Structure formats: structure tokens, C-alpha cells
Structure 1
Amino acid sequence: MEGLTFLSVDDVLLIHADTIENDGGSHGLRDHGLLDAAVAMPRQQFGGAFLHEDIAAMAAAYLFHIAQNHPFVDGNKRAAVMAALAFLRLNNVTRLPPPQELEAITRRVAAGEVRKEELTKWLRSHIGKPQ
């Protein structure tokens, strides 16, 4: 997969700040290392191949690792969802999951009830192909 646009740590920090401004909550980064790790996951490679094999798996990695790592003081689930959606939009995916369903599965991810592989399958069935 060539030509993908990935999010940076600064992008995710801005996404988090926007969600807190719009929806309320506490600003603040709890652990920069956990944020760095979460944001790096989708772009990880071994032997020149991405470990997350498609755009749905990469979006799932953003959502899963930000929600699970809890790098922020508040708003981790919201930031996780918005980061995944931003990644999909940046890469020209126009069919996105219904907000209520995305919220429900994100809560389950944060509670440890959904594995990343399950989230990836769910996203594959709920998003369109990049345009």
C-alpha cells in the first residue's frame, strides 16, 4: 500500500484538544510514551511490509491502542475514535461506520471486551474502499 497518510503525535494531540474543547473534559497528557506507542502502531513494518495489512487494520490500530493505552487525562475514547476517522478520511475512505455503532464498539474496546483483530473485522465490514 503506497501513498498512505499517517497521523503524527501532534495530529493526535490536536484531535484530542478539539474533542475536549467541543465536548468537555480535562485537558492533559498523562503519558507521552503511551501516546507515541499508540500513534506509531499503524505504520509499523517488518521486512518492508506493514504489520497492519490494510487501511481498516491501520484505523483499528489507532482506535485500539489510543483507547487501551489511555495516554490522556480524559477523552481517550473520543480521541481514539476521532483519530481513526481522521486517518480514514485522510486516505479517502468516504463510507464510515454509523456513529452509534462506533461509540458502542469503542466502549467495548476500552473495557477490554474486544480484541484488535475483532475491531479490524468490524471496521472492514463498516467502511468503504479508499476512493
Structure 2
Amino acid sequence: MDVIVRDYGLLESALARPRASIFGQDAYPDPHVKAAALLHSLTRNHALVDGNKRLGWAACRTFLAINAQWISAPEDDRFDLVIRVATGAMADLDDIAAQLRGWSHP
């Protein structure tokens, strides 16, 4: 499958979001909130022609793995989370992070 980027600016913005800071402080204080911001931005910004939800989940999961957090959740539950984030049914980063945190283990 070829990945076709529709908007490089949106992709760059989504990938930069977890590193955002406000007045010198991290805007997103822990890895789960950073991962939630990444998932939210990649699935909602539609930077790709196709595959935004897949990229969002893969990036979120990889980000947590890099930060020594592994996700264990049934595939249906993971799918449901990504769909809720992508459709805007779940937009609060703290709620998304709480779900990710509940599935995470070191």
C-alpha cells in the first residue's frame, strides 16, 4: 500500500503536537497524554489520503513503546477507541489518555 500525503503541513503539525510547550512547560505532561495528543491529531487532521486512523494508532502505540509502556487490549476495544477519536465522539485528551493508561503496562 502506498502512502499518499495530502497535506504535509497537517502531518508535521500532528507529529509535533506531543512536543508542544506553553511558557516553557510541557503542554502534555506525561507519555499517555502525549500519545493521546498524537492519536487525536493524526486521526482528526486527515493529513493522508487514506490510512489516517491506522497511522494514528501505529504512532500512538509506537510512542508509548518508546516510553516503555506496552498496550494490552482486545482488538475490538482498540478499534472502538480509534473510531471514537476519529469521529470526534471522544475528543478530550485526558479521557483518551485515561483509556491508554488503563491498557498500559511497563
Q: TM-score, normalised by structure 1?
A: 0.73
- Where structure 1 has 5 or more consecutive residues not aligned to the other structure, the ranges are 1-20
Structure (1/2) with the larger strand percentage: 2
For the residue of structure 1 that corresponds to 2:35, the secondary structure is helix
Q: State the distance in 2 between where 1:117 and 1:91 align.
A: 18
> Deviations 1:24-82 (Å, cap 9, x if unpaired)?
xx520011111111001101112332111111001111111000001000010000000
Q: Number of matched residues? A: 104
What pairs up with 1:1-131 in 2 under 5 angstroms?
21=1, 27-94=3-70, 96-98=71-73, 99-115=75-91, 116-129=93-106
Distance (Å, rounded) in 2 between the aligned partners of 1:121 and 1:93: 13
Structure 1 residue 120, shift from structure 2 partner: 1.5
Q: Percent identity?
A: 32
2-structure distance, mates of 1:120, 1:111:
17
RMSD: 1.4
Q: In structure 2, list runs of 5 or more residues that go unmatched.
A: none
Query: In 2, Cα distance between the equivalents of 1:97 and 1:71?
Result: 28
Structure 1 segments (4+ residues) deviating >2 Å:
none
